[in-house]
Amino acid sequence: MYFLKTQGTNKIPDYIQIRDDDFVLLAHFKTNYPENQIRKYQLVEYKKEILKLIAIAPYGILYEL
């Protein structure tokens, strides 16, 4: 599973992409209020790692979860 943080603009917020091993998009959500989206997409087992990456990961770098 992979994590990617994309940078928004003035009108478009930052987004998070979660992709599976075949690089199929599993989740796509805004960086604000990520806990709700983590539950919605059933990614609770990766919650700590996702929240950490949202806070510290630079934009456009792919991380493996």
User: What stretches of 1-46 show up as alpha helix (H) in DSSP?
Assistant: 34-40
Per the document, the length of the chain is: 65
pLDDT in 10s for each residue of the chain, 65 residues: 999 999 999 999 999 999 999 999 999 999 989 999 999 999 999 999 999 999 999 999 999 99
- pLDDT at position 13 is 94
Q: Tokens 């990456």 — which residue? A: 53
Extract the tokens encoding 42: 């059933």
Number of domains observed in the structure of the chain: 1
What is the residue range of 52's domain? 2-25+32-64
